[in-house]
Structure 1
Amino acid sequence: MLLFCPHCGNMLRVGKVLPGDPSTAEHVGKQTFTCLTCPYEFIITQRWYDRKYNTNKKEPDDIVGGENAWDNVQTQDNVLCPSDTCDGDKAFWYQLQIRSADEPMTTFYRCTECHKEWRE
């Protein structure tokens, strides 16, 4: 949990009330939220906590593939489908860089007839 100074906006740190200031003499030894930039100090007099629940969780994005992976892709002729039952020679394809930069891009194919997917 982070709290910020209402005067300057910097992050407040947890510290202790030090002796020597007559205005805080009764609170010496108690913990405070202290700003390191300005003289703001908030003395903690009760247990301090803040609980937040994440109610709208985001679904993870599908990085490679998913529903829209084959939208707006190109077709290529003279590509033999690896399926034994299909004799298609045309396929959709797209490329992704899934390895490091010194490796070539990976090409993903999908047969236009039987929809079998493979990569090279």
Structure 2
Amino acid sequence: MHFCPSCSNLLLVENGVGQNGETCLVCQTCPYMFPISKPFISRTILKRKEVDDVLGGEEEWANVDSIEISCPKCLHERAYFKQIQMRSADEPMTVFFRCCSMSCNFNWKEN
């Protein structure tokens, strides 16, 4: 994308509008025209942003309480839990669980 140096609007490619019938970059709001004399390609490789883990990452279960509930995978009788508001404020919070058994560590949720 190229922008007009006069008014900063997007320049469009139009064929045969130049003085000698050449292809030009043309501004739609002001009389600016830039003749294109040869093909040009420009490529910008965007740097990807690191994704933030909104649920807490590695430390998400560090300071949570436990409750007496049966794990659906190993049937262990205790699990850690935390509540997060996932939807709008008039919807109930989502409860996330993690089995307290170190060999299981199964995660599940309830709405």
Query: Normalised by the shorter chain, which TM-score bucket?
Result: 0.5 to 0.7
Q: CA deviation at 1:34?
A: 0.7
For normalisation by structure 2, the TM-score amounts to 0.66
**Which of residues 41, 48, 55 is equivalent to 2:40?**
48
For normalisation by structure 1, the TM-score amounts to 0.62
Match of 1:3 in 2: 2
Could you list the per-position Cα deviations for residues 74-102 of structure 1 after superposition, in whole angstroms to 9, with x for gaps in the alignment? x254x223233x343x633223436x988
Taking only the aligned residue pairs, the percentage that are identical comes to 36
What number of residue pairs does the alignment pair up? 106
Q: CA deviation at 1:108?
A: 0.8
Could you list the per-position Cα deviations for residues 26-85 of structure 1 after superposition, in whole angstroms to 9, with x for gaps in the alignment? x12x1100111111110111112112234x433445566742432554x254x223233x
Q: CA deviation at 1:118?
A: 2.6
**Which of residues 93, 102, 118 is equivalent to 2:82?**
93
Amino acid at match of 1:119: K
Structure 1 70/108 Cα, relative in aligned 2: closer, same or farther at 3 Å? same
Structure 1 94/102 Cα, relative in aligned 2: closer, same or farther at 3 Å? closer
Task: Tell me, yes or no, if the aligned pair for 1:93 and 1:110 is still in contact at 8 Å.
Answer: no
> Distance in 2 between the 1:41 and 1:94 partners?
59
Task: Tell me, yes or no, if the aligned pair for 1:14 and 1:32 is still in contact at 8 Å.
Answer: yes
**Can you give the 5+ residue segments of structure 2 that lack an aligned partner in the other structure?**
none
Task: Tell me, yes or no, if the aligned pair for 1:92 and 1:112 is still in contact at 8 Å.
Answer: no
Match of 2:108 in 1: 118
